[in-house]
Amino acid sequence: MADLKDCLFLKNLRGEPTDRTPIWVMRQAGRYLPEYMEVRSKISFNDLCRTPEAACEVTVQPIRRFGFDAAIMFSDILTPLEAMGAPFDFSHGGPKLERPLRDERDIRSLERYPSLEGVPYVAEAIRLMKKEFGDRTPLIGFAGSPFTLASYLIEGGGSKEYEHLKAMLYSRPELLQELLDLLGDQVLDYLLMQVEAGVDAVQLFDTWGGILHPADYEAMVLPVVRRILDGLKHTGVPRIYFLKGSAPYNHLVSTLDCECFGVDWTQDLTRAIAQLPGRCVQGNLDPLVLYGSPEQVRRRALEICRQGEAAPGHVFNLGHGILPKAPIPAVETLVRTVQEFRRGH
Amino acid sequence: MADLKDCLFLKNLRGEPTDRTPIWVMRQAGRYLPEYMEVRSKISFNDLCRTPEAACEVTVQPIRRFGFDAAIMFSDILTPLEAMGAPFDFSHGGPKLERPLRDERDIRSLERYPSLEGVPYVAEAIRLMKKEFGDRTPLIGFAGSPFTLASYLIEGGGSKEYEHLKAMLYSRPELLQELLDLLGDQVLDYLLMQVEAGVDAVQLFDTWGGILHPADYEAMVLPVVRRILDGLKHTGVPRIYFLKGSAPYNHLVSTLDCECFGVDWTQDLTRAIAQLPGRCVQGNLDPLVLYGSPEQVRRRALEICRQGEAAPGHVFNLGHGILPKAPIPAVETLVRTVQEFRRGH
């Protein structure tokens, strides 16, 4: 390829016709890869996120092995929170925050940091990755959405019922709004920094689908997501918004200004495309299909490729991150199936 | 009330006009109630499900305390599986099955039992409850849907990713179908037995919302749910189908023949009513709202009551089971708010 701008992935995000569907998978640099586990045997998850050379190596691994059509920088959605004075500890399984945020004092103790200073290793890693990929593979930057970050900050880690987050929402919504606004500023700065460092596209991850009433999503979450997406528009870098479990909110999500919407596997892609008119879509294979037979992987991947032709652009992906036990041969079958599919036939 | 048939709950399920909205809450006989905990301090969960007098006592408790407009028999969705040779152990937190079902031998080892013989204590408990309630409070019977039961049988307990269930779905769908059909026969028999024993309405619980692609839901789950609902029609007892996370499937769900659909809180009730035309709806307050301020409980409950007026009938409920830490005063506020709401004003 002469120019990265003409790659399949970016052309699809711009809605330009291509003869095949690009593919990458969420969490593609991860535990299902033996070479990733090899790196992790020598370095903690936390240090991996903060060491540009190592982060670059694991970002390149899945491209090297499978030839995915896009790379996503290795990092964690919680990484930028460390620079805000809320470092998560990953050493005991899931992420853990020593002092979860519960009141205004906690929230106001969070530090804002100027765009590049708080997490210098992220920009450095992006520059290394761009150098490594050259004009061959586009690089995706990302951030967690303010609401997803807020849920970790308030719960102090992962959660099943989101008790503390919801207690705040349903008793002190103005306080939650203050936190979301603060995180919104930070996330926008963080993504602008990534663009400046060289990423070719950005994805905003909202992984908490199905926990809010649509009216609350509309009042509390949608405005801050809109502000972030709007704040990135002038950069010209394509913006992907992935809201897991978005089916009940598609009519709201569709009002956002961005190039592409991630779609999870609980939605029929044809219906989602109709509900998100004029946009590129990304998705939407159930990650667990990779545990099934090769026939099922092929049949379901092809069905999604065909459905995706109805959108201005389609980037093949899983409907959520790939799981640690996903078998390598299944990923190979998936990539081959999607890359061999010819559009318009 | 002269006749139970004229109670608010059943009139709403029949789509007859009433001047106020009936309320009950899922898992209302449960751990948030001190008097329930008192009973549980003397008897295990398993024995409670199998002892008619004790099951009757905890079924009556929430009616006595809050004056809910309907009672639901105390039991567990896994109770009937014991009679099929798959007893779950509840003594270590969540339910656990010693030998999860993984292949055809496992599945074919399940025993079918004639309608009343396998779980005689359930019919006996229903007769006691009916005697206790007389013409004052309608009694709801229930069962877990075949798919929900299958997920417990295959995973051997609760699950986050449903790895084994999905591995079967995506590699041996015909085997999963065989299990679903078997469970469908059993669930229908089980509910017919409850009707015979005297319940005034039945609810089918599908709590695994958001794990299937709509095409799989349509092919594997919808037909067996339809068979159960159709098989109950001749009894004249109102049928409620609660599919948690139903938003992506409402266009499929709406083809089922039943009187009422349960709606969870991730959906706007007004939109759900439009997608489920001509049916009564039940729902849809987020159980976590009870952790919030009394103002929020009142405001949100009233909003739902108002939205519910657009359906032929509306039964107020939470969007999922009440949580163990729900404060009693919040439940009191909720019941008072709903019962004081006057329709058409």
Q: How far apart are CA A194 and CA B37, in angstroms?
A: 53
pLDDT in tens, chain A (345 residues): 568 999 999 999 999 999 999 999 999 999 999 999 999 999 999 999 999 999 999 999 999 999 999 999 999 999 989 888 898 998 888 899 989 999 999 999 998 775 557 789 999 999 999 999 999 999 999 999 999 999 999 999 998 899 999 999 999 999 999 999 999 999 999 999 999 999 999 999 998 767 999 999 999 999 999 999 999 999 999 999 999 999 999 999 999 999 999 999 999 999 999 999 999 999 999 999 999 999 999 999 999 999 999 999 999 999 999 999 999 999 999 999 999 999 987
Beta-bridge mates of residue A7: none
Residue of B nearest to A325 (CA): B163
**Domain tally, chain B:** 1
Q: Is residue B188 part of a domain?
A: yes
Q: Is residue A189 part of a domain?
A: yes
- Is the CB of B291 less than 8 angstroms away from the CB of A211? no
Q: Does B243 touch chain A (CB under 8 A)?
A: no
pTM above 0.90, yes or no: yes
Give the mean model confidence (pLDDT) for residues B262-281: 97
pLDDT digits (tens, 9 = 90+) for A240-271: 999 999 999 999 999 999 999 999 999 999 99
Q: Does B265 touch chain A (CB under 8 A)?
A: yes
- Looking at CA atoms only, how far is residue A307 from chain B in angstroms? 13
Residue in B291, B307, B322 to test binding to A, most A beta-carbons within 10 Å? B291
Q: Does B267 touch chain A (CB under 8 A)?
A: yes
Specify the CATH number for the domain of residue A137. Answer: 3.20.20.210
At A288, is the secondary structure helix, strand, or coil?
helix
pLDDT digits (tens, 9 = 90+) for B90-108: 888 889 998 999 999 999 9
Q: Is residue A284 part of a domain?
A: yes
Distances from the Cα of B312 to the Cα of B171, B236, B282, angstroms: 43, 18, 11
Q: Angle at Cα A224 formed by Cα A210 and Cα B271, nearest 5°?
A: 40
Alpha helices (H) along chain A = 8-13, 34-40, 45-50, 52-66, 79-82, 104-108, 120-133, 146-155, 163-171, 173-197, 214-216, 222-232, 250-253, 269-275, 294-308, 328-340
Q: Is residue A345 part of a domain?
A: no
What range does the domain containing A230 cover? 4-340
At A314, is the secondary structure helix, strand, or coil?
strand
Complex ipTM tops 0.90: yes
- For A286, which of B209, B213, B300 is closest by C-beta distance? B213
As a whole number of Å, the CA-based R_g of chain B is: 19
- Looking at CA atoms only, how far is residue A295 from chain B in angstroms? 8
Q: Is residue B98 part of a domain?
A: yes
Q: Is residue B345 part of a domain?
A: no
